[in-house]
């Protein structure tokens, strides 16, 4: 893959990873936010429950007191005209002081004030008509009437009204108890969560934050109901926008107000006081938690991404390195091949040179060898001429015989050389040296017997090599014949022939008990001979030709003089595994 493709693929992975990471971070944020908001909502409900219970419990005592007062004989006595206003008002004032109620009033059957605990400080209240008030209207039907209002000074009051029944069970008057809300709230303003009780006209009547009491929320109700005795102008509830998050109502307040900027709303209807309680829970911890977890997820994903990028980069670097190494290897191999070719060329040149040297040596030797018989022939011819001139023909004929001998010798030299040249073209084949050895021994047998030479054979049955059968036989016969030549003047005439195979080499050793080589360094030199040239076969070509033949099989012919006397020639050839051997 080239680097452009690799870059393109990498960028595709990066984009996919980024998109997935953003999705994962977003999902983490939303899931965390949802669960945190649910937790806050549960907390809000508990706070609301507690606040509602507390308010109801506080109002309950006044409700019961109203019940008791409606049945009190002093109240009945006043309504029935059996007691005076002053006495009853005094009774009401005392009761108010002991119970903590703000005011206590007794009304006649038409709803006008007959007596009041405030008679002394506000005597004008006597005769006021409250018949249209919601609590009195409700009390008329024998229920517990409730009502709330606020005066111009912002003092909020909660009222309970109960009918005073006559003997026949019909209302003959009413008792009204007024409770000051500010005093009730004083106990629970320390709550952390803002809790507000809204009435049906959208006015926050009770709250654990003083500043939030008596404020109108136009989003709940356009205008505050006139049925509650509120001042004409009410302050607005802090301005806010509505939204939803995680299935919850959120009121978004402007910063700077005493409300949390983003408040989760938990709400609960409180039918006993006909209001709806709302808790405003700060969602900041939920958002912070969600942001924190999202940031953590982003950090982990970034780390993972960076790790992956690092891994990918080092993998690419490694790939580049390997490629560079491979290129260097290829270059090196090319250089080695070139150098090998140069070496081969040099070797070929050397071989050529050594061939030429050998040819030179041979030519010199051949010419030397041929020169001798030639000059002898010249001498014999000249002598023969002179002898014939003098009429000594019988002697001249002897010379002719000598000339014939010299030409025979020349023929042998040339024959040897031609034979060598011809056999060199024989193709190589798989040859069992043991067989060739047996045939060679067969050829040498006759002479050994006539010269009393003892040939001892140690041979493995198979020793396969690549060779030319005839040429190998020629070498072995030559070595045996040389050994027998060397033994001719010896008393003990013994030739030991050993054929063995060691791992991948076949070795044939032909050793004798003769005198050994006189000049071992020159043994393979062409035309080196210690034998009588004229008389018999000594030409000095046998070993050099044998050396060349064994070399042409990829083997080596070597010689050593043995410590105990005698020479040992060793033919070493590379062994080849035959099918039989391979299957064994």
Q: How far is the CB of 463 from ligand ADP (least distance, A)?
A: 22
Q: How far is the CB of 420 from ligand ADP (least distance, A)?
A: 12
Site string for ligand ADP, 529-558 (x = CB under 6 A): xxx-----xxxxxxxx--------------
Q: How far is the CB of 539 from ligand ADP (least distance, A)?
A: 4
- Give the separation between CA 208 and CA 189, rounded to whole angstroms: 4
Query: How buried is 307 (Cβ within 10 angstroms: 0-12 exposed, 13-18 middle, 19+ buried)?
Result: exposed
* Residue whose CB is less far from ligand ADP, 158 or 527: 527
3-class SS shares of the chain: helix, strand, coil, % to 5: 50, 20, 25
- Give the separation between CA 236 and CA 253, rounded to whole angstroms: 13
Site string for ligand ADP, 469-488 (x = CB under 6 A): -------------xx--x--
- Give the separation between CA 275 and CA 52, rounded to whole angstroms: 10
What are the tokens at 146?
Answer: 């409730």
- Give the separation between CA 197 and CA 82, rounded to whole angstroms: 43
Q: Are 130 and 176 in contact (CB under 8 A)?
A: yes
Q: How far is the CB of 542 from ligand ADP (least distance, A)?
A: 3
User: Which single residue is written with the structure tokens 């509505």?
Assistant: 242
Total interface residues for ligand ADP by CB under 6 A: 21
Q: How far is the CB of 469 from ligand ADP (least distance, A)?
A: 21
Q: How far is the CB of 511 from ligand ADP (least distance, A)?
A: 8
Neighbouring CB atoms inside 10 A of 153's CB total 6
Angle at 263 between CA 261 and CA 267, to 5 degrees: 155
Please report whether residue 567 would count as binding ligand ADP according to CB under 6 A: yes
What are the tokens at 419?
Answer: 């034979």
Q: Are 332 and 325 in contact (CB under 8 A)?
A: no
What are the tokens at 389?
Answer: 């001139």
Select the span of 186-194, 395-403, 523-531, 575-583 touching ligand ADP (CB under 6 A).
Answer: 523-531
CA distances from 155 to 116, 161, 213, 364 (A): 19, 19, 10, 149
* Residue whose CB is less far from ligand ADP, 44 or 365: 365
Q: Are 399 and 384 in contact (CB under 8 A)?
A: yes
Please report whether residue 444 would count as binding ligand ADP according to CB under 6 A: no
* Residue whose CB is less far from ligand ADP, 155 or 492: 492
Q: How far is the CB of 512 from ligand ADP (least distance, A)?
A: 5
Please report whether residue 420 would count as binding ligand ADP according to CB under 6 A: no
Site string for ligand ADP, 501-520 (x = CB under 6 A): -----------x-x-xx---
Q: Residue 369: how many CA atoms within 13 Å on its side-chain side?
A: 28
Q: How far is the CB of 352 from ligand ADP (least distance, A)?
A: 24
* Residue whose CB is less far from ligand ADP, 483 or 571: 483
Can you tell me which of 300, 528, 552, 576 binds ligand ADP, judged by CB under 6 A? 528
- Give the separation between CA 251 and CA 219, rounded to whole angstroms: 11
Site for ligand ADP in 296-335 (CB under 6 A): none
* Residue whose CB is less far from ligand ADP, 540 or 555: 540
* Residue whose CB is less far from ligand ADP, 507 or 529: 529
Q: Write out the residues near ligand ADP by the rule CB under 6 A.
A: 482-483, 486, 512, 514, 516-517, 523, 528-531, 537-544, 567
């Amino acid at each position: 893959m080239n680097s452009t493709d690799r870059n393109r693929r990498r960028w595709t992975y990066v984009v996919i990873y980024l998109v997935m990471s953003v999705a994962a971070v977003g999902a983490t944020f939303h899931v965390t936010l949802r669960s945190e908001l649910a937790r806050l909502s549960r907390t809000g409900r508990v706070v609301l429950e507690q606040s509602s219970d507390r308010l109801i419990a506080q109002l309950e005592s006044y409700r019961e007191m109203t019940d008791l007062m409606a049945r009190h004989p002093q109240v009945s006595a006043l309504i029935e005209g059996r007691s005076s206003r002053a006495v009853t008002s005094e009774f009401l004032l005392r009761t108010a002081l002991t119970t903590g109620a703000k005011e206590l009033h007794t009304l006649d059957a038409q709803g006008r004030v007959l007596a009041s605990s405030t008679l002394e400080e506000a005597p004008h209240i006597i005769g006021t008509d409250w018949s249209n008030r919601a609590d009195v209207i409700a009390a008329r039907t024998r229920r517990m009437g409730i009502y709330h209002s606020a005066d111009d000074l912002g003092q909020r009051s909660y009222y309970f009204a109960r009918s005073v029944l006559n003997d026949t069970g019909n209302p003959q008057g009413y008792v009204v108890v007024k409770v000051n809300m500010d005093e009730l709230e004083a106990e629970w303003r320390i709550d952390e969560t803002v809790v507000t009780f809204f009435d049906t006209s959208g006015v926050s009547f009770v709250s654990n934050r003083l500043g939030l009491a008596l404020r109108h929320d136009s989003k709940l109700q356009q205008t505050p109901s006139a049925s509650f005795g509120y001042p004409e102008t009410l302050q607005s509830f802090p301005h806010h926008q509505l939204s939803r998050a995680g299935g919850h109502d959120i009121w978004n307040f402007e910063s700077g107000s005493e409300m949390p900027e983003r408040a989760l709303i938990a709400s609960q209807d409180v039918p006993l006081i006909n209001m709806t309680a709302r808790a405003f829970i700060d969602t900041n911890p939920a958002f912070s938690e969600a942001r924190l977890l999202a940031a953590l997820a982003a950090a982990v994903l970034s780390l993972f991404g960076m790790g992956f990028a690092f891994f990918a980069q080092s993998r690419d670097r490694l790939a580049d390195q390997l490629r560079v190494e491979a290129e260097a290897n290829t270059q090196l191999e090319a250089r080695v091949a070139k150098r090998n070719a140069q070496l081969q060329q040099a070797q070929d040149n050397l071989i050529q040179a050594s061939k030429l040297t050998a040819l030179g040596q041979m030519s010199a030797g051949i010419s030397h060898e041929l020169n001798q018989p030639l000059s002898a022939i010249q001498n014999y011819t000249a002598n023969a001429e002179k002898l014939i001139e003098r009429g000594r023909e019988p002697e001249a004929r002897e010379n002719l015989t000598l000339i014939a001998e010299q030409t025979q010798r020349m023929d042998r030299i040339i024959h040897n050389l031609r034979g060598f040249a011809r056999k060199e073209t024989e193709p190589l084949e798989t040859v069992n040296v043991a067989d060739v050895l047996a045939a060679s021994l067969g050829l040498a047998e006759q002479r050994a017997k006539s010269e009393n030479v003892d040939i001892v054979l140690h041979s493995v049955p198979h020793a396969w090599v690549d060779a030319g059968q005839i040429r190998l036989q020629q070498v072995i016969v030559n070595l045996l014949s040389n050994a027998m030549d060397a033994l001719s003047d010896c008393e003990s005439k013994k030739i030991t022939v050993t054929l063995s195979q060691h791992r991948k080499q076949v070795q044939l050793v032909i050793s004798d008990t003769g005198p050994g080589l006189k000049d071992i360094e020159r043994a393979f030199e062409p035309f080196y001979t210690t034998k009588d040239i004229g008389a018999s076969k000594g030409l000095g070509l046998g070993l050099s030709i044998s050396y060349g033949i064994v070399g042409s099989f990829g083997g080596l012919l070597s010689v050593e003089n043995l410590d105990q006397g005698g020479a040992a020639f060793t033919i070493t050839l590379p062994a080849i595994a035959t099918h039989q051997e391979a299957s064994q």
